[in-house]
Amino acid sequence: METKLSVNVNKIATLRNARGGDVPNVVQVALDCERFGADGITVHPRPDERHITTQDVYDLSKAVTTEFNIEGYPDERYMKLIADTKPAQATLVPDPPHVLTSNAGWDTKTNEALLTDLAQQFKEQGVRYSIFVDTDLQNIEYAAKSGVDRIELYTGPFADNYKNDPASAVKDYVTAANRAVELGLELNAGHDLNLDNLRFFKEQIPDLLEVSIGHALVADALYFGLENTIQMYKRLLK
Catalytic center residues: 44, 71, 191
Q: How far apart are CA 146 and CA 142, in angstroms?
A: 6
Are the beta carbons of 9 and 33 closer than 8 angstroms? yes
Q: What is the largest CA-CA distance in the chain?
A: 49
Q: How far apart are CA 65 and CA 61, in angstroms?
A: 9
Is it true that the peptide bond before 24 is cis, omega within 30 degrees of 0? yes
Rounded (5°) CA angle 52-201-38: 40
Q: How far apart are CA 236 and CA 22, in angstroms?
A: 32
Are the beta carbons of 155 and 191 closer than 8 angstroms? yes
DSSP per-residue string spanning 200-234: HHHHH-TTEEEEEE-HHHHHHHHHH-HHHHHHHHH
Q: DSSP assignment, residue 186?
A: E
